[in-house]
């Protein structure tokens, strides 16, 4: 094939077998969202590039598929949907709160494709708008955990939770002046390694005791023991409540881990990431609270908390753990045709399709034995043979390929046989 006609790197063609697995996963996501009373929305795939300059930071803009459209406008394939969803909330005044929305859009990032990172991927997103307090953070994290639980991943990940306001209050306590720079460094701690991290962090503050706090991990009481008296109690009370709620939801493990800050600039409170317990993969999902985004679109300030989960890492971990669903939808009835009886066979196909069954009808004019081979290859549960005699007496010959049983049925009785 001409090189110029090939699929672009980092993009996928999804054949039926793979697609049926993916649809099953989407259906689980949709079903769990429904139970939590989240409603599905849909968003544009192309947006003004300016939308992402707002608060997402330059790192995301540099990774977009952006271009000038034919009207000379800077536009981009959407790299994330938070700004769009926030705009949708901002521009429809008077929607009763809380608003609980989810979506499963395709997103695009111009990055080097590698394991778990594609240029085009699906991302499940869910958000709650309108609640300032930790109750919404808990509901959103529980939703994320419930989805992972229903995908079979209940014990394959650890949810790592932190709170930006708490971290910032520690940083201030240690007289860190450039809080943004410190957060960026903490975010990159695992990537750059301990040594470089300490060196770089030493440029921000001389009080290196702070390292013990940044690396703090454990349950709320561990955090409280270490930080009590050092920062305002309200931060500690907040994570105690969150722990209490998440234990009540009881959908999976979690740990407070103050090294989690999340790269994206707009988070303002709780942040969280789910990681493979084996530590091999990128984050499975990530999210947090972003109370300042909706107001960027004018009007009132509306608090928000949400998360996103791409399908690439999810696929890798599910396949590794043998949890990737294999969906093998068989043909219920294969209609084989002898002689010149297609119109009659088509009528039979319609009766059975209208009963909701999967019906394949031979289109190739092959010999009966070849048609039966096709039925076999398709894994058909039943074959219906339609020939001159069947047509003459208005009957079908029905063979159950699982039991081998063969019967002749008048067409007005097909109903009874098929529903059985």
Which residues between 19 and 78 bind a second copy (CB under 8 A)? 19-20, 22-23, 31, 34-37, 39-48, 50-51, 54, 65, 67-70, 73, 75, 77
Q: In this complex, which beta carbon is closest to a second copy, that of residue 264 or of residue 331?
A: 331
Q: Is 419 in the site for a second copy (CB under 8 A)?
A: no
Counting Cα atoms < 13 Å in the Cβ hemisphere of 283 gives 22
Q: In this complex, which beta carbon is closest to a second copy, that of residue 132 or of residue 188?
A: 132
Which two structure tokens, joined as six digits, stand for 237?
């009370």
Q: In this complex, which beta carbon is closest to a second copy, that of residue 43 or of residue 292?
A: 43
CA dihedral 269, 143, 311, 331 (to 10 degrees): -170
CB of residue 384 vs a second copy: minimum separation in angstroms?
14
CB of residue 98 vs a second copy: minimum separation in angstroms?
6
CB of residue 289 vs a second copy: minimum separation in angstroms?
13
CB of residue 230 vs a second copy: minimum separation in angstroms?
27
Among residues 365, 369, 416, 419, which is the contact residue for a second copy, using CB under 8 A? 365
**Which residues in the 242-271 window bind a second copy by CB under 8 A?**
244-245, 247-251
For residues 180 and 269, give the distance between their C-alpha atoms in angstroms, rounded to a whole number: 14
Q: In this complex, which beta carbon is closest to a second copy, that of residue 35 or of residue 278?
A: 35
Cα–Cα distances (Å) from 385 to 58, 188, 356, 365, in that order, read: 65, 66, 20, 13
**DSSP secondary structure, 96-144, as one string:** PSPEEEEE--EEE--S--BTTB-SEEEEEEEEEES--SHHHHHHHHHHH
Among residues 210, 285, 361, 385, which is the contact residue for a second copy, using CB under 8 A? 361
Residues in a beta bridge with 333:
359, 382
**Rg (alpha carbons) of the chain, rounded to whole number:** 28
Q: For helices 134-150 and 233-249, what crossing angle results, to 10°?
A: 30
| Number of residues located near a second copy, criterion CB under 8 A | 100
Among residues 209, 363, 402, 403, which is the contact residue for a second copy, using CB under 8 A? 363
Which two structure tokens, joined as six digits, stand for 311?
């399908």
CB of residue 1 vs a second copy: minimum separation in angstroms?
5
Q: In this complex, which beta carbon is closest to a second copy, that of residue 207 or of residue 244?
A: 244
**Which residues in the 108-167 window bind a second copy by CB under 8 A?**
108, 110, 119-120, 128, 131, 133, 135-136, 138-139, 142, 146
**Which residues in the 377-396 window bind a second copy by CB under 8 A?**
377-378
Q: Any idea which residue has 């995908």 for tokens? A: 151
Among residues 25, 29, 60, 88, which is the contact residue for a second copy, using CB under 8 A? 88
Q: In this complex, which beta carbon is closest to a second copy, that of residue 78 or of residue 189?
A: 78
CB of residue 349 vs a second copy: minimum separation in angstroms?
8
CB of residue 231 vs a second copy: minimum separation in angstroms?
24
Q: In this complex, which beta carbon is closest to a second copy, that of residue 168 or of residue 243?
A: 243
Residues whose CB is less than 8 angstroms from the CB of residue 261 and which lie 6 or more positions away in sequence, other chains included: 162, 164, 167, 183, 186, 187, 267, 271
Q: In this complex, which beta carbon is closest to a second copy, that of residue 66 or of residue 268?
A: 66
Q: In this complex, which beta carbon is closest to a second copy, that of residue 283 or of residue 306?
A: 306
Q: Please give the DSSP secondary-structure letter assigned to residue 5.
A: G
Cα–Cα distances (Å) from 48 to 51, 89, 103, 135, in that order, read: 6, 18, 20, 34
> Is 200 exposed, middle or buried, given 0-12, 13-18 or 19+ CB atoms closer than 10 A?
middle
Q: In this complex, which beta carbon is closest to a second copy, that of residue 41 or of residue 401?
A: 41
Sole window of 13-21, 227-235, 254-262, 397-405 interacting with a second copy (rule: CB under 8 A): 13-21
CB of residue 75 vs a second copy: minimum separation in angstroms?
7
Residues 159 and 272: beta-carbon distance below 8 Å: yes
Q: Report the DSSP pairing between strands 66-68 and 74-77.
A: antiparallel
**Which residues in the 205-244 window bind a second copy by CB under 8 A?**
244
């Amino acid at each position: 094939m001409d090189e110029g006609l090939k699929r672009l790197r980092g993009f996928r063609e999804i054949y039926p077998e793979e697609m049926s697995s993916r649809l099953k996963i989407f259906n689980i996501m949709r079903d769990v969202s429904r139970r939590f009373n989240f409603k599905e929305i849909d968003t544009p795939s192309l947006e003004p590039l300016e939308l992402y300059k707002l608060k997402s930071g330059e790192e995301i803009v540099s990774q977009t598929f952006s271009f000038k459209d034919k009207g000379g406008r800077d536009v981009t394939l959407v790299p994330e949907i938070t700004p769009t969803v926030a705009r949708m909330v901002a521009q429809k005044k008077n929607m009763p709160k809380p608003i609980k929305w989810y979506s499963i859009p395709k997103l695009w990032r111009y990055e080097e494709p590698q394991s778990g990172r594609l240029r085009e991927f699906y991302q499940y997103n869910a958000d709650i708008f309108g609640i300032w307090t930790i109750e919404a953070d808990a509901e959103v994290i529980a939703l994320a955990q419930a989805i992972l639980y229903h995908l079979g991943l209940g014990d394959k990940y650890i949810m790592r939770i932190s709170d930006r306001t708490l971290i910032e209050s520690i940083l201030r306590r240690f007289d860190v002046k450039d809080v943004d720079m410190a957060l960026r460094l903490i975010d990159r701690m695992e990537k750059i390694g301990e040594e470089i991290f300490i060196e770089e962090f030493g440029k921000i503050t001389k009080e290196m005791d702070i390292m013990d706090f940044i690396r703090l991990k454990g349950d709320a009481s561990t955090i409280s023991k270490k930080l009590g008296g050092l920062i305002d109690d309200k931060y500690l009370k907040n994570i105690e409540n969150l722990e209490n709620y998440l234990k009540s939801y009881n959908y999976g493990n979690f740990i407070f881990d103050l090294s989690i800050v999340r790269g994206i600039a707009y988070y303002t409170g709780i942040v969280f990431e789910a990681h493979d317990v084996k530590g091999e993969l990128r984050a499975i999902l990530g999210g947090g609270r972003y109370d300042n985004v909706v107001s960027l679109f004018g009007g009132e300030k509306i608090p928000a908390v949400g998360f996103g989960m791409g399908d690439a890492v999810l696929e890798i971990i599910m396949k590794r753990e043998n949890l990737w669903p294999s969906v093998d939808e068989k043909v219920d009835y294969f209609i084989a045709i002898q002689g010149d009886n297609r119109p009659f066979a088509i009528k039979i196909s319609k009766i059975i399709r209208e009963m909701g069954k999967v019906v394949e009808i031979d289109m190739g004019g092959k010999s009966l034995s070849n048609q039966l081979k096709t039925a076999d290859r398709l894994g058909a549960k039943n074959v219906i043979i339609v020939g001159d005699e069947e047509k003459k007496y208005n009957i079908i010959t029905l063979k159950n390929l699982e039991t081998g049983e063969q019967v002749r049925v008048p067409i007005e009785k097909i109903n009874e046989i098929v529903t059985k």
